[in-house]
Amino acid sequence: MSTQIAMPTRSSARVDEILSWYQDDSPQTLANLRRILEHGRTGGSGKLVVLPVDQGFEHGPTRSFAPNPAGYDPRYHAQLAVDAGCSAHALPLGACKVVSPEFASDLPLILKCNSADGLYVGTDPEPAVTAGVEDAVRLGCAAVGFTIYPGSSARNRMYENLRRLARDAADAGLPLVVWSYPRGSGVSEQGRTAVDVVAYAAHLACQLGAHIVKVKPPTDVIESAAARKVLERSGTPLGTLAERVRHVVQSAFDGHRIVIFSGGAAKGTEAVLEENRQTALGGGFGTIMGRNSFQRPHDEAVQLLHDVMDIHLAATHD
């Protein structure tokens, strides 16, 4: 069972503080960002727990939804996000068109505007642009999302596409969520989640205009010899996941951008909870967790999401 955590008020000094980091943004953008920060069980705390379901596009429907066949229906995921009290629900265009009429008014939706399918896996991947701000506005979304692959030879096109999306989103008053996932010929397989590379990826997303940055939990691998020398010379502690998360958050404008960590591949319940304890301890702003929730039966998924939320809420009282 979840421990009893006092639910924050819908508007809080913490949310006001976070919004003060984005003073260049329009009132409409800040209102939409506030909507996400004040929604759900963690609303008002400055912590986010987002349910992303782009895995059907990225990995295929069988791998993604066969473990819990209810998930073949996009409306199931939106209802799961509502039932669990998630901060928002991220999804691609097709699913958003199914979900939006029923859920957009009550659940902040983040339209994922690019995706890469798993039928072709090359050395240097490049997601296709699959939606735009005009779709997000028409469907009543609260934000738009975009993936970049630092380390891919196609990265510059991704950055340029993201720049265009960021400009359009600003004009429409929509916050920008960036999935910053290093991969491609510029990084090794282990380097994709190396602490120095993840920190670099988070920083790049901030420089490209992200309001919310999604990265993977960093391992203790250090990819760059130059970075290793600096980290060792500075005495930056990196021995625990919490310490590595703290370094990543610091790399995001000294913690003045919202950094949330992915849930990754499906894993056992205790592994999920411990990973979230560590990311919360390191100052992470929450999690964006898909397969580890929606591949479980509904009630089990709700309970797990509540337990994860309670971990991040407890961190706000430490």
Instruction: Write out residues in the chain with pLDDT < 50, as ranges.
Output: 1-6
Query: pLDDT, tens digit, for every residue of 189-217?
Result: 999 999 999 999 999 999 999 999 999 99
Could you say which architecture CATH assigns to the domain 14-315? Alpha-Beta Barrel (3.20)
CB burial of residue 270 (10 Å; 0-12, 13-18, 19+): exposed
For residue 263, what pLDDT is reported? Answer: 87
Q: Residue 176: beta bridge partners?
A: 144
**pTM more than 0.85:** yes
Considering the candidates 47, 112, 214, 216, report the single residue annotated as catalytic: 214
* pLDDT for residue 238: 98
Query: What pLDDT is stored for residue 1 in this prediction?
Result: 34
Rounded Cα distance between 281 and 276, Å, is 8
* Cα pseudo-dihedral 146, 277, 263, 89, rounded to 10: -60
Residues 293, 305 contacting (CB under 8 angstroms): yes
Q: Where are the domains of the chain?
A: 14-315
Which helix (DSSP H) or strand (DSSP E) does residue 313 occupy? helix 298-315
Which residues, 6+ apart, have CB-to-CB distance to 90 below 8 Å?
A: 50, 51, 52, 53, 54, 109, 110, 111, 112, 145, 177, 288
Residue 265: predicted pLDDT: 76
Specify the 3-state DSSP secondary structure of 128: strand
pLDDT score for 269 = 96
pLDDT for residue 317: 62
Is 229 an active-site residue? no
SS3 category, 256: coil
Question: In angstroms, rounded to a whole number, what is the distance separating the alpha carbons of residues 25 and 44?
Answer: 20
Q: Give me the pLDDT at residue 264, please.
A: 77
Q: What is the pLDDT of residue 10?
A: 52
